[in-house]
Amino acid sequence: MKKIIITATFAFATMFSNAQITVNSGGYVGIGTTTPSYNLDIAGNTKTTGSHYLNGQTDLGINGVRVFNNGTNGYMDYKGAGAMYFRADNNNGGIIRMTILSGGNVGIGTTTPGTYLLNVNGSIYTTVAVTVSDSTKKKNIKDLSINALATIKKMRPVTFQWKKVIDGGMKGTQIGLIAQDLETLLPSMVITTNDTVISVTVKDTATSTLVTKNETVKGGKAVKYNELFPILIKAIQEQQKMIDSLFAIAKEAKGQRTNNNSNEQGNAGTIHDMELASGNAIIYQNAPNPFGDGTTIKYFIPENVQSALVVFFDAYGNQIKEFKVEEKGMGQLNVSTMNLAVGVYSYSLLVNGKAIDTKKMLKSN
């Protein structure tokens, strides 16, 4: 009997020696190391054909992490009401670098991604950024109706520096807009997040142990800069209309001067006779044109006219104002335009419900 025990003990010790397994007095097991510091301390590679469960679980019916390979793909599963944190630094415990919430939202550089699938606290460096803009994935598509040029003129571009620099993209002087300023003009372009209280695990420097404490993550305001591009495009279109109108006005004025000069020099070309009677209603070109804070429009209304209106329209043909002319004969309408946005407008003289003439005018500043 004693011989059998000695033989078994020798065989067991030999097996441990050949496999480089060490069990110290504290119960720590070392494989590939003779000084294990954990319940299982492996110095070398490991291979598992089945699933690897953390937190002592054999399934994902309750909180736990599982790492496994199904023969084709590798997986890491987490089941729980909380989040999965990825830490990395040279301190015990580590700083949380990436967070995956149970709903799938991912935070990089932040533990509170909120309602966004990806929330990055820092710069994003990429070769190409592509935004989906397929009409089949959108609804309620309408033309942008704001006065884009006037809106852009009210924006306040600034230079600034970040108080907390997280990466290289945040270093030095930056160019942008202030969310609080933009919110007064285009509130839909500004996103506001509230303060959030989270639990974090940190190293207590006094005791060198890991402790959990609550930490408040400050909220703030963010700008959807991608929505600026359609506004800029529309502003350029509005400005081009103004330029085209100026060219048309200048061309017309040049033509009038040419005709006048030709007549003065006796080169009138073909001459036609006509009678200009005072029975015709007339509306004249506003002056000055282009104009700033105001302009003047002269008109003539014959005695036989029953009703006369001067009607104003914006560049899209929408009626914005009308003036009822009560007196007959020559008249003058002084138009105040201090609160009128920059752009091209038109006005028409309506006599007895019929449009007699239409003129264009340009608000330049």
Higher pLDDT among residues 36 and 176, named by residue: 176
Rounded CA separation 195/205 (Å)? 27
DSSP annotation of 244? H
Q: Is the pLDDT of residue 200 over 70?
A: no
173: Cβ contacts below 8 Å, ≥ 6 apart: 159, 160, 161
Matching residue, tokens 């019929």 = 354
Q: What are phi and psi of 145, to 5 degrees?
A: -105, 0
Q: What are phi and psi of 14, to 5 degrees?
A: -65, -40
* Exposed/middle/buried for residue 155 (C-beta within 10 Å: 0-12, 13-18, 19+): middle
Rounded CA separation 325/309 (Å)? 6
Higher pLDDT among residues 195 and 285, named by residue: 285
pLDDT at 13: 41
- Taking the chain, what is the end-to-end CA distance rounded to the nearest angstrom? 111
pTM above 0.95, yes or no: no
Rounded CA separation 9/87 (Å)? 44
Helix (H) or strand (E) holding 96: strand 96-101
Rounded CA separation 64/77 (Å)? 8
Q: Which of 308, 290, 95, 365 is nearest to 210 (CA)?
A: 95
pLDDT digits (tens, 9 = 90+) for 215-236: 777 889 999 999 999 999 999 9
pLDDT at 258: 55
Would you say 67 and 52 are in contact if contact means Cβ atoms under 8 Å apart? yes
Would you say 328 and 314 are in contact if contact means Cβ atoms under 8 Å apart? no
**Residues of the chain by 3-state class (helix, strand, coil), percent to 5:** 20, 35, 45
Q: Is the pLDDT of residue 301 over 50?
A: yes
Rounded CA separation 359/337 (Å)? 17
Question: Which ranges in the chain are annotated with CATH 2.60.40.1930?
Answer: 282-363
pLDDT digits (tens, 9 = 90+) for 50-83: 666 666 555 545 566 777 777 788 888 776 667 8
pLDDT digits (tens, 9 = 90+) for 16-28: 555 578 888 888 9
Q: Which of 49, 44, 82 is nearest to 65 (CA)?
A: 82
Report residue 169 as tokens: 């993209």
- Domain 282-363 indexed as CATH 2.40.50.140: no
